[in-house]
Chain A
Amino acid sequence: MSDINFEGNSRQRTPCVLVLDCSGSMDGSPISELNAGLREFKKSLSEDPVAMTSVSVCIVSVGGPSNSADVMMDFVDAIDFEPADLKADGSTPLGEGIIMALDKIEEFKAEAKIHDNRYTRPWLFVMSDGEPTDDAHVWSEAVRRSMEAETGKKAVIFSIAIGKANTSKLQEITQKSVAQMSGIRFKEFFVWLSGSLSKASKTTEGTDVQLPPRDSWSFVSGG
């Protein structure tokens, strides 16, 4: 029997941007749990041969020593993803971080189109334990951009409240219910995320992806 050559196109990417709250209130056990979660994320992705080469991760940190929103890690294939050590400090310019993340997504798409690479609908996760400290106009711009991205099906946006975060603010950026993390289950969350990213299930232009159950880390089923 002749040997068949299985050569994939290796051109499809599932972009995922994480906007992570590193403000002062995350100091102590939350930030160390978050760092452990990121390491678990890396590990889970590495165990999945498809995810390892198809998932592209970008991290935007909010707050931290610089007290601003920063692209802490530009898009990188999961295979090259090395989680940095996040440090908690400063305020929560979440709106600024969200705008930055949406810009990164558009940049990713533009570049993919130039290279004629395919991508699945980008995922944006916003995780915070507090209220945004942006100027009102920055936050409202972030809300406008998020809603535009969501309704225009440019990205799938998930809002996750850590601990006792103000969910009403986080709810403004998505039509889906805010998921509330039960306790500080970053590890469980990131294991769940790597599995969901790997799946990137097929969908219509008009609907959102259906995700696996979030029971492992969330007590609100969400939308």
Chain B
Amino acid sequence: MLVGGATCIGEAHKRNGIPLQDAFKVFGNSTQKYVIAIVSDGAGSARHAEIGSDRICSIFTDEVRRLCEESQTVSFDKFKETTSFAIQSARRSLVDDGYSLADCHATIVATLAFDDRCFLVHLGDGLQVVLIREPSGAIAACVSEPENGDAANETFFYTEDDWHSHLRITEIPRDVLACFLMSDGMEEFVWNPKTGLKLPFCRPLLQNARQAVISGQDLNEILSEIVSDERTNQFTNDDKTLCLVLRDSAPVTIHEAGNNLNQYIIRNGHPVKFSPSADTPAPPRVQQRTSPQSVSNTLPQRPTAKPPTGVHSNSLGAPDSEESWATEGYKRSSRLVSFFLGLAIYFIGLGSGYFLNELERDPPWVVKDGSAKTSSSVAEKESEKAKLGSDITDQSQKQENGVATSTSSPSKDVERTKGTSPTGTDKANVSTPSSAAKVVSDSKTPYPTNASNAPSKSTPSDAAKESVSTPPSVSKGTKVDTPNPTKASNAPPKSAPTDAAEKIGR
């Protein structure tokens, strides 16, 4: 799995001398094959919001890592316990440091993703989208929406007394293909509550990410270019953070699903089918206004019910059954409809690639379930990884004003944070490109205990194993440690990519 992230201070924050209040942290463990990503958005109305957001990112990552290292298989119940514990610990540590919790208000959007399932945590606003493969092979998007108060700038924070009543934890027992986590500054580019997922944003993002992996470019660069893109400033002046989790080095793009991507909104831990509706025009200006009474019967209703405030508890269980995640009947009819729709549009000359893909023709680089793959796809993946490996040392430090990035490639165990970690635990253990290939090929084997520290077993690919040492200089506020000495190292140490952990703007 591949994970990366980037954050960019908002224009309004710059203008008003407010620090970057978003924080994120990502961690990838290629041995145990899991990825942790968390984004936290500090409230502009809170004096030390940047402390609150940073604190939860560090503590959550540490606690979930510990959980994964201690357990062979992480149960959903254990994950829920750990999440609650992490939040309580973060709250306690803020108070211990002399902060008032009300001064440290921050939201949480987080995930712990394995190949075949993931756990989502959501408290407050921000957005999380998980692309999954349904048992039928179809690709679907599961969306965890923001929870707002009556007004759009009112939301809920882990630092509030009733945090537990707004904490939403969900298990998605499906193959995970990709996962987007973001603060509300990026939300509107990815999701429209009426029309659903914004494919013109998501598709190129995944394409570019794939391209980056193939060419050995850092995923960070892609993400930091996105969050700091000038065009975002037309719509938001808030801090913007985006983390991306991708399955393997050959991410499946939404192209495969065509325009008929199934979309679900997560409600109370269960997927609710999302039906896009036509977007109404932007709010009419006063000249065109009509009275509420005269228009009330003609306007389309929001397709899905707003999540009731305060109903989300951390008792959200795992879905009762597999059926709760996808009903075969629905899928069949949907696929039939998409088939004929695709065929029709194809024949009138608008279709082409998307709809051929809808007929279940996987592109050669798609790896299903991490095991069933053709020899050509393996060969291609291996060659991609070889490229990636050779480029590891070529990655240069990226220094962009106000932008912090962080990534973990498929070939690395990396933990990065954007900012100063109060616990000082930022580490980067960078392993080999070939070990990532092993992640794929070994995906059916049970997780080894204490795998993060265990030397990899000898495989033909071990010849390419490399250790990556501490970079000569690290940007402010972040420490990158040497890799675990127990890691097998058959090749001379190289400089670690120094692009990952930067924090500017605090």
Q: Does A203 lie at the interface of the complex (its beta carbon under 8 Å from any beta carbon of B)? A: yes
- Contacting residues, chain A, for B234 (C-beta < 8 A): 6, 8, 49-50
Residues 140-161 (chain B) with a chain A CB within 8 angstroms? 148-157, 160
Residues of B within 8 Å of A, CB-based: how many? Answer: 62
Smallest Cβ distance from A131 to chain B, in angstroms?
A: 32
Residues 278-308 (chain B) with a chain A CB within 8 angstroms? 280, 282-286, 289, 292, 295-296, 299, 302
Smallest Cβ distance from B303 to chain A, in angstroms?
A: 10
Q: Does A29 lie at the interface of the complex (its beta carbon under 8 Å from any beta carbon of B)? A: no
Quick check: B150 and A203 within 8 Å, CB to CB? no
Quick check: A204 and B235 within 8 Å, CB to CB? no
Q: Does A200 lie at the interface of the complex (its beta carbon under 8 Å from any beta carbon of B)? A: yes
Quick check: B189 and A208 within 8 Å, CB to CB? no
Tell me the complex Cα distance, A74–B285, Å.
Answer: 10
Q: Would you give the 0/1 interface string for A85-118, flagging 1 where the beta carbon is closer than 8 Å to chain B?
A: 0000000000000000000000100111011111
What are 30 inter-chain pairs, A to B, with CB distance below 8 A?
A: A1-B211, A4-B200, A5-B201, A6-B189, A7-B201, A11-B282, A12-B152, A50-B236, A80-B285, A80-B286, A114-B296, A115-B283, A115-B299, A118-B148, A119-B151, A121-B151, A122-B151, A153-B154, A199-B12, A201-B44, A203-B43, A203-B45, A203-B105, A203-B154, A204-B45, A204-B105, A204-B154, A204-B155, A204-B157, A212-B16
Q: Does A137 lie at the interface of the complex (its beta carbon under 8 Å from any beta carbon of B)? A: no
Residues 217-242 (chain B) with a chain A CB within 8 angstroms? 222, 226, 229, 231-238
Of A202, A208, A212, the residue contacting B41 (CB under 8 A) is A202
- Contacting residues, chain A, for B280 (C-beta < 8 A): 115-116
Residue of B nearest to A77 (CB): B285
- Contacting residues, chain B, for A116 (C-beta < 8 A): 193-194, 280, 299, 302
Q: Does B207 lie at the interface of the complex (its beta carbon under 8 Å from any beta carbon of A)? A: yes
Instruction: Give the number of residue pairs across the A-B interface with Cβ within 8 Å.
Output: 157
Quick check: B208 and A75 within 8 Å, CB to CB? no
Tell me the complex Cα distance, A13–B286, Å.
Answer: 13
Tell me the complex Cα distance, A74–B148, Å.
Answer: 27
Smallest Cβ distance from A51 to chain B, in angstroms?
A: 8
Residues 50-82 (chain A) with a chain B CB within 8 angstroms? 50, 56, 74-77, 80
Quick check: B45 and A7 within 8 Å, CB to CB? no
- Contacting residues, chain B, for A208 (C-beta < 8 A): 45
* Chain A interfacial positions (CB closer than 8 Å to B): 1-13, 48-50, 56, 74-77, 80, 107, 110-112, 114-122, 153, 195, 198-205, 207-210, 212
Smallest Cβ distance from A60 to chain B, in angstroms?
A: 14
Quick check: A8 and B157 within 8 Å, CB to CB? no
Tell me the complex Cα distance, A1–B217, Å.
Answer: 12
With A1-B208, A210-B47 as known contacts, state yes or no: A7 contacts B285, CB within 8 Å.
no
Quick check: B189 and A76 within 8 Å, CB to CB? no
Quick check: B43 and A204 within 8 Å, CB to CB? yes
The 5 A-B pairs of least Cβ separation, nearest first, read: A201-B44, A8-B235, A5-B200, A2-B204, A118-B152
Residue of B nearest to A54 (CB): B235
Quick check: A7 and B200 within 8 Å, CB to CB? yes
Quick check: B286 and A6 within 8 Å, CB to CB? no
With A114-B296, A202-B155, A203-B43 as known contacts, state yes or no: A2 contacts B201, CB within 8 Å.
no
Residues 154-184 (chain B) with a chain A CB within 8 angstroms? 154-157, 160, 184
Quick check: A48 and B237 within 8 Å, CB to CB? yes
- Contacting residues, chain A, for B208 (C-beta < 8 A): 1-2, 4
Of B160, B238, B299, the residue contacting A204 (CB under 8 A) is B160
- Contacting residues, chain A, for B102 (C-beta < 8 A): 207
Q: Does B188 lie at the interface of the complex (its beta carbon under 8 Å from any beta carbon of A)? A: yes
Tell me the complex Cα distance, A122–B340, Å.
Answer: 48
Residue of A nearest to B309 (CB): A205
Of B16, B152, B154, the residue contacting A205 (CB under 8 A) is B154
Tell me the complex Cα distance, A8–B302, Å.
Answer: 18
Tell me the complex Cα distance, A117–B292, Å.
Answer: 13
Of B153, B160, B194, the residue contacting A120 (CB under 8 A) is B153
- Contacting residues, chain A, for B115 (C-beta < 8 A): none
- Contacting residues, chain A, for B189 (C-beta < 8 A): 6-8
Q: Does B125 lie at the interface of the complex (its beta carbon under 8 Å from any beta carbon of A)? A: yes
Residue of A nearest to B237 (CB): A50
Quick check: B201 and A6 within 8 Å, CB to CB? yes
Smallest Cβ distance from B318 to chain A, in angstroms?
A: 30
- Contacting residues, chain B, for A9 (C-beta < 8 A): 188, 192-193, 235
Quick check: A199 and B16 within 8 Å, CB to CB? yes
Quick check: A7 and B198 within 8 Å, CB to CB? yes
Smallest Cβ distance from B19 to chain A, in angstroms?
A: 13
Quick check: B153 and A4 within 8 Å, CB to CB? no
Quick check: B226 and A4 within 8 Å, CB to CB? yes
With A202-B44, A204-B43, A208-B45 as known contacts, state yes or no: A120 contacts B200, CB within 8 Å.
no
Tell me the complex Cα distance, A118–B282, Å.
Answer: 11
Tell me the complex Cα distance, A201–B233, Å.
Answer: 16
Quick check: A50 and B233 within 8 Å, CB to CB? yes
Quick check: B283 and A11 within 8 Å, CB to CB? yes
Residue of B nearest to A207 (CB): B45
Q: Does B359 lie at the interface of the complex (its beta carbon under 8 Å from any beta carbon of A)? A: no
Tell me the complex Cα distance, A202–B18, Å.
Answer: 13
Smallest Cβ distance from A73 to chain B, in angstroms?
A: 8
Residue of A nearest to B200 (CB): A5
Residue of B nearest to A52 (CB): B234
Quick check: B299 and A202 within 8 Å, CB to CB? no
Residue of B nearest to A6 (CB): B231
Quick check: A10 and B198 within 8 Å, CB to CB? no
Q: Does B331 lie at the interface of the complex (its beta carbon under 8 Å from any beta carbon of A)? A: no
Residue of A nearest to B47 (CB): A210
